[in-house]
Amino acid sequence: MAADQLVAAANGHPASAVVRDVVDTVLGFARTLRHAGVAASPDRVEAMLSAVGHLDVLDPTAVYWAGRLTLCAGPDDLDRYDAAFAAFFGGEAPHVRKSTGPEQQRIVQSAPIETSESGEDGGEPADLATKASGDEVLRHRDVGELTIAERDQLRRLFTLLVPAVPMRPSRRRRPGPHGSVHAARTVRRALRDGGEVSRLMYHRARPRPRRVVLLVDVSGSMSPYADALLRFAHAAVRARPASTEVFTIGTRLTRVTRELRLRDPDKALTASGGAIPDWSGGTRLGEVLKAFLDRWGQRGTARGAVVVVCSDGWERGGSELLGEQMARLHRLAHAVVWVNPHKGRVGYEPLTGGMQAALPSIDHFVAGLRLAAFERLVGVITRA
């Protein structure tokens, strides 16, 4: 429809009216796009106007590309852009995406997998076993205000996490009293001393924080612990925003790093609750872990990182896949830490099928979810 308006404007109106129409149309489209979840900031919209100016305004394909090239910022935006474009300009988008990146996630997101025969996870208490179903239940987290005790716990976690940074050597160097000779600085100093090399200057590798990736299981069987884990994740992200990534796993993979970067814990937890579609749903650990590795991990997020999986290991997606993917994760990551809330109980043995499959690929196993366990976890992460 708007494209028709463009055509009409071009045919019958003075140039300024056309320009105004184009601007209005683009602004309207940008609004639609923002509703669809693409952050089309004003400077991007300005760029789109400029791009349209260089192309044929009346050609829908040209308008499509002008918008897509300027308003989108990543592969995740492209599907939303296509949908918004189709909706706003009526008709179909002139380009059908056969995506590679996002599609892998879509596979995981769509098909609910068949529930495997019971008995595989033999010997589990019945109530817990039923909670670990592969059925996809989509619901958002009920968000209440944090209690004073929870806020207090958060503050303690935060102060615990700030100094706790795993470090790795980096390729960047800084001046230092020893290390290798820094030729440029040595000569610069020599120039100051009238061309006499009087002192050698050194530099050495500067350590950098190692990336920490938290994978938080938000499925039904984890529901008593997921809140506390998300609070821990929030404290971790706030302590090291640049080197911490948080994903939730259940029947889907959701990246919540961005939401958890909000300073206020209430707002951050509300925002992440809104972003997680499968709160207290089923579990497909293996499949979701694969989605994580395909989309993020192998590309770099898990490479050389300390990866912390917070889950009870209840898996109905077949433990073979989970074992395979855990081995893959172990090859990529610097260290794999598994936090199992059940381990703290007396007499607990990691017996679930998923847990058994994952065990060979785990470097550190942390149990329970009292504050003491969190403290131990922080220690493990720091020393990993």
Partner 1 sequence: MLQGVSEPTPPSRPALPGDPDALAAALEATGYLPDEGLATAAYLALVMHRPLFLEGEAGVGKTALARALAEVTARPLYRLQCYEGLEASQALYDWDFGRQLLHLRAAEAAHDGHGTEELEASLYDRRFLLARPLLQALEDSPSVLLVDEVDRADDEFEAFLLEVLSDFTISIPELGTVRAETPPLVVLTSNRTREVHDALKRRCLYHWLEHPDFEREVAILRRRLPQVTEQLARQVARATAQLRGLDLLKPPGVAEAMDWATALHALGARELDPDTAARTLGAVLKYREDTDRVHALARGALFGGG
Position 184 contacts partner 1 (CB under 8 A): yes
Can you tell me which of 69, 181, 200, 351 binds partner 1, judged by CB under 8 A? 69
Q: Is 199 in the site for partner 1 (CB under 8 A)?
A: no
Answer for which of 170, 175, 180, 266 binds partner 1 (CB under 8 A) is 170
62 binds partner 1 (CB under 8 A): yes
Query: Helix 285-292 crosses helix 101-110 at what angle (to 10 degrees)?
Result: 170
Q: Which residue has the tokens 């001393």?
A: 193
Phi, psi at 261, each rounded to 5° = -75, -15
Asked whether the beta carbons of 61 and 1 are under 8 A apart, the reply is no
Candidates 60-68, 215-223, 233-241, 263-271; binding stretch for partner 1 (CB under 8 A): 60-68
- Measure the CA–CA gap between 340 and 300, rounded to whole angstroms: 25
Place of tokens 């039904």: 220
Nearest to 64 by CA among 96, 102, 42, 21: 96
For the CB of residue 46, give the shortest distance to partner 1 in the complex, in Å.
11
| Smallest gap from residue 184 Cβ to partner 1 (A) | 6
DSSP reduced 3-state for 266:
helix
Q: Are 374 and 230 in contact (CB under 8 A)?
A: no
Per CB under 8 A, 97 contacts partner 1: yes
The yes or no reply on residue 61 touching partner 1 (CB under 8 A) is: yes
Residue from 3, 10, 19, 47 touching partner 1 (CB under 8 A): that is 47
Query: Segment near partner 1 (CB under 8 A), from 11-19, 149-157, 188-196, 350-358?
Result: 188-196
# binding residues, partner 1 (CB under 8 A): 46
The answer to whether the CB of 63 falls within 8 A of the CB of 86 is no
Q: Does 165 bind partner 1 (CB under 8 A)?
A: no
Of residues 12, 54, 147, 148, which one binds partner 1 by CB under 8 A? 54
- Nearest distance from C-beta of residue 160 to partner 1, angstroms: 26
Cα 345 to chain centroid distance, Å, stands at: 31
Beta strands in the chain (DSSP E): 167-176, 180-181, 202-209, 212-217, 244-249, 253-255, 306-310, 335-340, 364-367
Counting contacts by CB under 8 A, is residue 42 touching partner 1?
A: no
Question: Candidates 1-9, 100-108, 226-234, 338-346 — which segment interacts with partner 1 by CB under 8 A?
Answer: 100-108
For residue 321, count other CB atoms closer than 10 A to its CB. 18
CA neighbor of 289 nearest in space, from 337, 328, 242: 328
55 contacts partner 1 (rule: CB under 8 A): yes
- Contact string 240-279 vs partner 1 (x = CB under 8 A): --x-------------------------------------
Cβ 324 to partner 1 shortest distance, Å? 9
Nearer to partner 1, 154 or 307 (CB): 307
198 is a site residue for partner 1 (CB under 8 A)? no
Segment interacting with partner 1 (CB under 8 A) among 93-101, 268-276, 340-348, 376-384:
93-101
For the residues of 27-64, what is the DSSP string, one character each?
Answer: HHHHHHHHHTT----HHHHHHHHHHHHHS-TT-HHHHH
List Cβ<8 Å contacts ≥24 apart for 47-54: 49/22, 49/23, 52/22, 52/26
Minimum CB distance to partner 1 smaller for 128 or for 165: 165
Q: Which listed residue (90, 91, 175, 300) binds partner 1 by CB under 8 A?
A: 300
In the block, residue with structure tokens 């009409």: 8
Q: How far is the CB of 182 from partner 1 (least distance, A)?
A: 11
Contact 63, 52 (CB under 8 A): yes
Angle between helices 60-71 and 42-54 (to 10 degrees): 150
**209 near partner 1, judged by CB under 8 A:** no
**C-alpha 213: how far from its chain's center?**
9
Exactly one of 25, 38, 68, 311 binds partner 1 (CB under 8 A); that residue is 68
356 sits near partner 1 (criterion: CB under 8 A): no
Give me the residues that bind partner 1 (CB under 8 A), please. Answer: 41, 43-44, 47, 50-51, 54-56, 61-62, 65-66, 68-70, 72-75, 78, 95, 97-101, 104, 170-173, 183-184, 187-188, 190-191, 194-195, 242, 298-301, 303
